[in-house]
Chains A and B, each alone.
Chain A
């Protein structure tokens, strides 16, 4: 009789897990080995991205790709940092703002149908809410999920490339829903119930 045990690494800190880095950001983080503070470059990336979008690069695939490229060059290396500074938790909302804002701007520029954009961002949001619950209930996400889910930087790059074609945006939405929903449901179904699950109250709720 053989027993298969799936081993999931415990993330070093919930903040790092909430970043939702993809393969690219992780690779860049590995290069600098945690020596770069995460917050200032992320804010710089968001600022540059915001300026680029403000001057109207969203409409052009070749120009709009600069937003995720600049973002990943600046914020990507921070992925290996412990995020133990007093304000490092701010990196998470900054990355979220960058990803959500960019997707919305590109979709608006190309007049992607509203329901398609709603579906795409709904998939991303599902994953982000799921991540928080995963960390709190210690049902840690497997490593491959970060890669398969493309990460914040991967999704921004793909959105910049396919934003002009609504059908491809829809395809991306379907793919992300498939990955995030399927993985989450199977994982939670496998996690046995507990009588004493510590559920900290979410701030602001």
Chain B
């Protein structure tokens, strides 16, 4: 029998929200800063908050994202801060102001949730006080005395929290959208926020990115050969890789305790962990910042400079660009995505939900169907125009959902059902219009039905294959070879394992192909007749010729697409069996 266990339906709500772990062990996390007004901020944006500690700013940002739990590692109040700094001389070297004698005062948080002394290391009490007003997240505060203890605590959190887990430094100054890109990574994925290679330093360590993955990550002990990017300090660990994170953290703690990592500063806990994950063979996606910024800061001057730089970037624009998928078909890219951003922004301003946009799109498709069913030349032309607008709105609803982070399970279902409903409704309308002109032309119905069935068959091939080889079971989630953490050096790009017979995830292969021959990639995307090309085919052939030609074209192109998809998937299945 197909069912082996009776359980409660997990439902969409069973997908757990992310947790965040802030390692707030540098003095800069307690810096009190005033945020400048962001450029291009909409009129209804919340007013710039008053002075706020960097840690509280970060926690507030996390509170606006789908993050459910917040863990914070702070320094133990019992441990004298001077002693901690003395034991870790490089920390002083990095932070500069940390050797200020006032650092010992700690505590003394004012009622407004800010610290009177900007150079103090945060204690657990400070963290609780600072975060008391920073948003909806109630922090789980952990105290720790040094780097090794920090790493043990990270391991404990990785074991206890169901994940996915974001790990961020307390001194991170970043766009909310930059952090959101980590939060939004697909369920099982692990990824790290990666910025440009220029300006590397102790808090912007070098990494090497290959094919969208972090291939090597450095810190004060571990070197990186042929580095081409820097690590912005924050990473996200998918649920599948939490156990690996715990192992790596314990291993690193042991190495730190035995002194085998030399003088790695306590501030580089996150950097060490990233190196550990990469060397353990965990696939770490390089989440690029694009126009956005995310940097760790050390003192008031760098923090304020960074905040000013953040304000100069149009964050909304960056989010909009990211919301508009670039991997669609040719028609979608040039005839829809080129101008749909304006519609997305307008819909967001008008506070339309994605489902409302889907509804409007269905309305346009209904208008198109009515015109198509008239069967006259003018009707076919008007119908084509309405169907094109319906398709544009159909793209807008998904973009709006990504833009406003309002993706819902019901929305995904509604989108699919409406897409097919609109498409097949238009097929029926075209057939009705064709027979309305001449009763003898009943023969168009089998063509319309065959076109519909062929598309459904093609989708069945796609979904069955996709579920037989989900990316986290095959390729994408596979561990690479592990390398020892005791070796300081990196073997460089040539060390990377050769592409595993093409099964190393479609993403990697696709990226390689895109570099080699962009035209070939476009041709591959068009041959499978994606929805944009189908829409264009209908909108062009129906008014120019007649419905019969439209169906014949859909059947011919769709037939080629079906065979192409089927052959590709069968070959990949067989190859996966060999590898």
Whole-angstrom distance between the Cβ of B365 and the nearest chain A Cβ = 15
Whole-angstrom distance between the Cβ of A14 and the nearest chain B Cβ = 4
CA distance A15 to B566 in the complex (A): 16
Determine if A195 and B407 form an interchain contact, defined as CB atoms under 8 angstroms apart.
Answer: yes
- Residue B2 is within 8 A (CB to CB) of chain A in the complex: yes
- Residue A79 is within 8 A (CB to CB) of chain B in the complex: yes
CA distance A37 to B577 in the complex (A): 17
Determine if A198 and B464 form an interchain contact, defined as CB atoms under 8 angstroms apart.
Answer: no
CA distance A122 to B9 in the complex (A): 28
For A105, give the chain B residue with the smallest CB separation: B446
Contact string against B for A residues 128-172, beta-carbon threshold 8 Å, 1 for contact and 0 otherwise: 111011011111100100000000000000000000000000000
Determine if B573 and A89 form an interchain contact, defined as CB atoms under 8 angstroms apart.
Answer: yes
Which of chain A's residues have a CB closer than 8 A to the CB of B577?
Answer: 86
- Residue B60 is within 8 A (CB to CB) of chain A in the complex: no
Determine if A129 and B416 form an interchain contact, defined as CB atoms under 8 angstroms apart.
Answer: yes
CA distance A198 to B427 in the complex (A): 31
Determine if A139 and B431 form an interchain contact, defined as CB atoms under 8 angstroms apart.
Answer: no
Residue from the set A15, A117, A121, A198 with the largest chain B CB neighbour count within 10 Å: A198
Determine if A132 and B463 form an interchain contact, defined as CB atoms under 8 angstroms apart.
Answer: yes
Whole-angstrom distance between the Cβ of B163 and the nearest chain A Cβ = 12
Which of chain B's residues have a CB closer than 8 A to the CB of A118?
Answer: 424, 427-428, 431, 445, 448-449, 452
Interface size of B as a range: 35 or more
Which of chain B's residues have a CB closer than 8 A to the CB of A193?
Answer: 12, 408-411
Known A89-B464, A90-B464, A90-B570: A195·B405 in contact at CB below 8 Å: yes
Secondary structure type dominating chain B contacts:
helix
In A77-134, the 8 Å CB interface with B consists of: 79-80, 83, 86-93, 96-97, 100-101, 104, 107-108, 113-115, 117-118, 121-122, 125-126, 128-130, 132-133
Determine if B13 and A194 form an interchain contact, defined as CB atoms under 8 angstroms apart.
Answer: yes
Q: Which of A5-13, A42-50, A55-63, A68-76 contacts B (4 or more CB under 8 A)?
A: A5-13
Known A129-B417, A198-B186: A86·B573 in contact at CB below 8 Å: yes
Q: Which of B7, B14, B445, B458 contacts A204 (CB 8 A)?
A: B458
Name B residues whose Cβ lies closer than 8 Å to a Cβ of A: 1-17, 66, 186-187, 405-413, 416-417, 420, 424, 427-428, 431-432, 435, 442, 444-446, 448-450, 452-453, 456-468, 470-471, 528, 530-531, 561, 565-566, 569-570, 573-574, 576-577
27 sample A-B contacts, Cβ–Cβ < 8 Å, listed by A number: A8-B9, A9-B2, A15-B467, A26-B1, A80-B2, A86-B576, A87-B570, A90-B570, A93-B461, A96-B457, A115-B445, A118-B424, A118-B445, A129-B456, A130-B417, A132-B416, A133-B412, A133-B416, A137-B409, A138-B10, A139-B9, A188-B410, A191-B409, A193-B12, A196-B407, A202-B466, A204-B530
